[in-house]
């Protein structure tokens, strides 16, 4: 199986490539009042408003995410049952990693990062956490303010005017 290895804070996470639509550079994220603390805001992605969540805030709510750097990326993810993508802000995209899922060993009690991490792999000096993207996206989809607000267009076209 192919994974994308990303870094968030000091931790490394493996995301199944199957769920990744695209990796884009950090663009202007528009915050919106009333959204969950993990939600950085919304971006324009192919003329649609897409919610972006910060991986550091999702997995370590009390930890302050590092400031944006040139290496900061947004990983666009898609759930198999939902057509709308969702953005995940990460500090750095390291590389792709071909690995057998059995390399990831079950996570011990207290280390599950809210149930989104399903295992860890000691890969040399790195501890790599397997991120369960489906569970993560289902959690975010269960919060109405965390989704894309029906993925509406960001501007009015002549066909969509209603006045």
pLDDT at site 69: 80
CA–CA distance, 111 with 11 (Å, rounded to integer): 12
159 belongs to a structural domain: no
Q: Range of 27's domain?
A: 2-154
pLDDT at site 32: 85
56-61 long-range contacts (CB < 8 A, ≥24 apart) are 56/8, 56/9, 56/91, 58/114, 58/116, 58/136, 59/8, 59/11, 59/113, 59/114, 59/116, 59/117, 60/9, 60/113, 61/37
pLDDT, mean over the chain: 81
pLDDT at site 140: 79
pLDDT in tens, 46-70: 989 999 999 988 887 666 666 678 8
Query: In the structure encoding, which two tokens stand for residue 84, read together?
Result: 């709308």
pLDDT at site 116: 85
Q: Is residue 116 within 8 Å of residue 58, measured between CB atoms?
A: yes
162 belongs to a structural domain: no
Reduced to 3 states (helix: H, G, I; strand: E, B; else coil), residue 95 is: strand
CA–CA distance, 66 with 72 (Å, rounded to integer): 10
Positions of the chain with pLDDT lower than 50, given as ranges: 112, 145-163
CATH number at residue 133: 2.40.50.180
pLDDT at site 147: 46
120 belongs to a structural domain: yes
Query: In the structure encoding, which two tokens stand for residue 72, read together?
Result: 């900061």
pLDDT at site 161: 38
pLDDT at site 67: 67
Report the C-alpha dihedral over residues 62, 91, 80, 143, rounded to 10 degrees.
30
Query: In the structure encoding, which two tokens stand for residue 31, read together?
Result: 């915050």
160 belongs to a structural domain: no
Count of structural domains, the chain: 1
pLDDT at site 146: 46
CA–CA distance, 102 with 38 (Å, rounded to integer): 30
């Amino acid at each position: 199986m192919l994974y994308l290895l990303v870094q968030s804070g000091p931790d490394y996470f493996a995301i199944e490539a199957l769920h990744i639509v695209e990796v884009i550079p950090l663009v202007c994220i528009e915050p919106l009042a009333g959204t969950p603390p993990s939600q950085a805001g919304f971006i324009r992605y192919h003329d649609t408003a897409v919610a972006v969540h910060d991986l550091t805030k999702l997995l370590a709510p009390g930890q302050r995410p590092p400031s944006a750097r040139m290496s900061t990326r947004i990983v666009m993810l898609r759930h198999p049952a939902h057509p709308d993508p969702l953005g995940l802000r990460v500090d750095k995209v390291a590389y792709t990693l071909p690995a057998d899922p059995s390399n990831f060993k079950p996570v011990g009690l207290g280390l599950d990062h809210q149930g989104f991490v399903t295992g860890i792999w000691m890969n040399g000096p790195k501890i790599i956490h397997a991120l369960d993207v489906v569970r993560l996206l289902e959690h975010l989809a269960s919060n109405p303010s965390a989704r894309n607000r029906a993925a509406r267009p960001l501007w009015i076209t002549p066909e969509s005017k209603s006045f």
